[in-house]
Amino acid sequence: MAIVGFNFDKILVEKTGPINKGVQVKNNMSIKNVEEQELIMGEKKEYVLKFSFEFSSVYSPKIGKVAIDGHILFLQDKAGVKKIMDGWKKKKNVPNDIATVILNAVLMKCNVKALVLSQDVNLPPHIRLPTISPKNKANDYIG
């Protein structure tokens, strides 16, 4: 159905060492838990799934990290909630179409937040950003 809420629950950013040549960044994210919740909207009761997630960027060797925990509220009908909760309880699995929506929302929000946080403590960006390179002088001739 639709995402009706996105919240950060915990944010950690730390620089633990100097930045040297050869910095490697490992990014990771996962759905940690799924819970059923009721959302009261006026006199109407809606059913939502609370997807708890974890996002991290670890800079090595021992340079720093960004860790973000949060949750997403996902509106779903009662039958859909039951189906997803049954799959989660049995196999810790979420249907691909739902997981895609949830994980893309996590990527969108957390990549931006992690970029700002890493800049605040002088860590390099955890994702490749576009850059401009100078033109080759040999190719400037128009004739």
pLDDT digits (tens, 9 = 90+) for 73-125: 999 988 999 999 999 999 999 999 999 999 999 999 999 999 999 999 999 99
**Which strands sit side by side in the sheet containing 64-76, from one edge to the other?**
2-15, 64-76, 44-60, 24-41
Total domains present in the chain: 1
**134 domain residue, yes or no:** no
**137 domain residue, yes or no:** no
CATH code assigned at 22: 3.10.420
Tokens 């576009």 correspond to: 130
**16 domain residue, yes or no:** yes
Q: What range defines the domain where residue 43 resides?
A: 2-124
**88 domain residue, yes or no:** yes
Q: What is the DSSP letter of 95?
A: -
**98 domain residue, yes or no:** yes
Whether pLDDT at 142 is above 90 = no
